[in-house]
Each structure stands twice: as C-alpha cells, then as structure tokens.
C-alpha cells in the first residue's frame, strides 16, 4: 500500500494544475488517469487545437498547454500512474484508501477528483467492425505521423473539422465524409475548411474499409447515389465519445446526473474527497478550463487544511516562495 498526501484522479488541465498547487503546498502527490498520457480530453481529442481563453495566453495549442502544466508541476515530483483506473473507495483510519484496477492501493490524506467527462469511449465506426488491421484511429496525438498520407475523416462535428484544418497542410489529401448535409461543427470552422483543398462528401457513409493488415482505402456510399472507392492510408473516426462516471458512480458521492456535487470549498459529501473541473456541479457552474484552474486551487488549499488542521487555508503568494 502506497502512502501519499493527495491522490488526484484525472490528469486533465484541472488535475495537472492541482498537482502543481499541492506540490507548492508541500504535499506529496499521485496523479491517476486511465489514459496513457497526461492531458485528458485535450490530449485525446484536440491536442493541436488552439485555445484562446486561458489567462495569460492570447492563444495556445492544447498540446503546449498540457506540456506547460506538466512542467509547472515537475519541480515538486508528482508521481504519475497513467493507464491506471481508479476503482474502489474505502477508508482506513479515517483516511481514503483508493483501489486501482491493477490491484495497487493508495492510502491518501485526501482525494481530488478532476475527471472531466469521466470515462469516455470513442463511438465506433460501423464499417471498421469487419477490418482487423491498423490505420483506424479516433484521435491524432502527433500530426506528423500522418504527413504525406491520404487521410479520410468521418464525422461532422468540431473534432472532425479541427482534424481537417490541422492535417490539410501536412497530408497528401484530406477527405471528410458526413452522413448528413449539415454539419454540427462551428460555422466559422466549416467556412475555413471550405476554403482549403479538403474534399467534403455529405449525405454519405463509409461502408467498407480495404487493406491487408493496414488501411489502403475505403468505400463511400452516397445516399441515393452510388459507391466509390477512395484511397486512404488512415481513417480518422471523429464520431464523438460516450462518457460516464465509471467506478466513481459507486463511491457514494452525491451526483447530479454524471456530475459530482460540491460546495464552495470543492468538497463532496464524502469525507476528505474533493472535486474540481468539468466533473463538478454547483449553482452557477461554468464548464471552462479557466474555471477548472481556480477550482483546483480551491480544492487543494481546503484539502491541505483537512490533512493538517494546523495549516493555513491561504497558501501565501507563489512570488514570495520563489
């Protein structure tokens, strides 16, 4: 059983900032996430998308924001357990005991849940069910991996169009297929893609994937029309994700649908369990990265007092600490 002051469940932006703040408060930290890389939804869904509403950055790519957050926490040596699923919650001597899917137990002074959407699973591409090879992906962690390829994107939402914008300068060709005529993506993003040499095929579906061990092409069937075969080295299935709280739903937390109710201290109804970021719910809640940062700091500072009643709630100014 591993002992730690604070276990942070979720390595998205709020969780990573909480790791920094806990370290700043002199607390030992373990960050747990079921995904294999830090960054949560940003890393999984839009690492190359530019974000404009993070304080102090007129614009910053998702990947760079995650890298900066990891670097910010690094001096305090947080331990990362990535690809690890937090499953069971119990208490030993009044402190939370967190059981992981791999059998490891983490005995904590407090837990801060920053799970964002909770566990999210990509919606499958039906045509891919009969294809056992490689080349079908749900997100693109490194755009350079698709440089010079013929890329087929399936979907009509923001993620599909973000990938089209990001990949067009690098790929040999980009084709986007959507089953409807109208797109769900933001109108300005759609307009930008229309100005690029990206082929848009609407009222159509990818019906077959071709290739021997690796994607080589696909059949596109247009509603009321025929079927054509297009060349493709990679198929990006940007069909969205389904999300749920997973094992967190069994922790006895007070829930509002798939969100965790917290008070002004970011405390839940369970002792020593706090939450921050998109996973939380309270009156006036606004789900933004910027909001999550403030909630993470609030959760850590209140957890610090619970862990050590002699500690001060106000952490002092980081500029004074050096």
pLDDT tens for each residue of 268-289: 999 999 999 999 999 999 999 9
Q: Give yes or no: residues 140 and 231 share one domain.
A: yes
46 annotated to bind ligand: yes
Q: Give yes or no: residues 99 and 196 share one domain.
A: no
Task: Say if residue 178's pLDDT is above 80.
Answer: yes
278 annotated to bind ligand: yes
Q: Give yes or no: residues 227 and 255 share one domain.
A: no
Does residue 321 lie in a domain region?
A: no
41 annotated to bind ligand: yes
In DSSP terms, which residues pair with 137 in a beta bridge?
236
Which domain-ending residue is among 209, 236, 263? 236
What are 183's two structure tokens?
């797109």
Across residues 193-221, what is the average pLDDT?
96
Which domain-ending residue is among 201, 236, 271? 236
Q: CA–CA separation, 60 vs 42, rounded Å?
A: 12
- Domain limits at 135? 124-236
Percent of the chain scoring above 70 in pLDDT: 98
Q: Give yes or no: residues 6 and 116 share one domain.
A: yes
Q: Give yes or no: residues 225 and 272 share one domain.
A: no
In a 13 Å sphere around the CA of 62, the CA atoms on its Cβ side amount to 20
Domain with 141 in it: what CATH number?
A: 3.50.50.60
Are the C-beta atoms of 196 and 172 separated by less than 8 Å?
no
Give the highest mean pLDDT range of 57-66, 244-253, 299-308. 299-308
Q: Give yes or no: residues 66 and 128 share one domain.
A: no
Q: Which pLDDT score is estimated for 120?
A: 66
Q: Give yes or no: residues 193 and 207 share one domain.
A: yes
DSSP string covering 126-151, please? Answer: GGGGG--SB-EES--S-GGGGTT-EE
Q: Give yes or no: residues 35 and 144 share one domain.
A: no
52 annotated to bind ligand: no
Which domain-ending residue is among 193, 217, 236? 236
Per the structure, the count of domains in the chain is 2
218 annotated to bind ligand: no
219 annotated to bind ligand: no
Q: How many CB atoms lie within 10 A of CB 320?
A: 6
Does residue 40 lie in a domain region?
A: yes
Across residues 159-164, what is the average pLDDT?
90
Quote the pTM value.
0.79
Q: Give yes or no: residues 249 and 110 share one domain.
A: yes
In a 13 Å sphere around the CA of 246, the CA atoms on its Cβ side amount to 22
Does residue 322 lie in a domain region?
A: no
Does residue 318 lie in a domain region?
A: no
């Amino acid at each position: 059983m591993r002992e730690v002051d604070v276990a942070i469940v979720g390595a998205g932006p709020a969780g990573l900032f909480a790791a920094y703040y806990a370290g700043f408060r002199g607390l030992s930290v373990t960050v747990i996430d079921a995904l294999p890389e830090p960054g949560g939804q940003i890393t999984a869904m839009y690492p190359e998308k530019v974000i404009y509403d993070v304080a102090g950055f007129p614009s910053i790519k998702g990947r760079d924001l995650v890298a900066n957050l990891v670097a910010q926490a690094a001096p305090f040596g947080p331990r990362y357990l990535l690809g690890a699923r937090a499953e069971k919650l119990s208490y030993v001597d009044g402190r939370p005991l967190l059981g992981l899917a791999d059998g490891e137990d983490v005995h904590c002074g407090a837990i801060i849940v920053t799970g964002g959407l909770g566990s999210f699973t990509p919606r499958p591409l039906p045509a891919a069910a009969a294809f056992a090879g490689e080349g079908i992906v749900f997100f693109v962690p490194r755009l350079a991996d698709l440089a010079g390829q013929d890329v087929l994107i399936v979907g009509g939402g923001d993620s599909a169009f973000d990938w089209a914008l990001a990949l067009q300068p690098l790929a040999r060709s980009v084709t986007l297929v959507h089953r409807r005529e109208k797109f769900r993506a933001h109108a300005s993003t759609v307009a930008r893609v229309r100005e690029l040499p990206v082929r848009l095929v609407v009222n159509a579906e990818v019906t077959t994937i071709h290739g021997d061990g690796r994607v080589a092409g696909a059949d596109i069937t247009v509603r009321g029309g025929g079927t054509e075969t297009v060349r493709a080295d990679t198929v990006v299935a940007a069909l969205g994700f389904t999300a749920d709280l997973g094992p967190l739903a069994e922790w006895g937390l007070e829930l509002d649908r798939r969100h965790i109710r917290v008070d002004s201290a970011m405390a839940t109804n369970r002792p020593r369990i706090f939450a921050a970021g998109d996973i939380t719910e309270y009156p006036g809640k606004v789900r933004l990265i910027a909001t999550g940062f403030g909630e993470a700091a609030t959760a850590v500072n209140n957890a610090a007092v619970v862990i050590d009643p002699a500690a001060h709630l106000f952490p002092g100014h980081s500029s004074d600490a050096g």
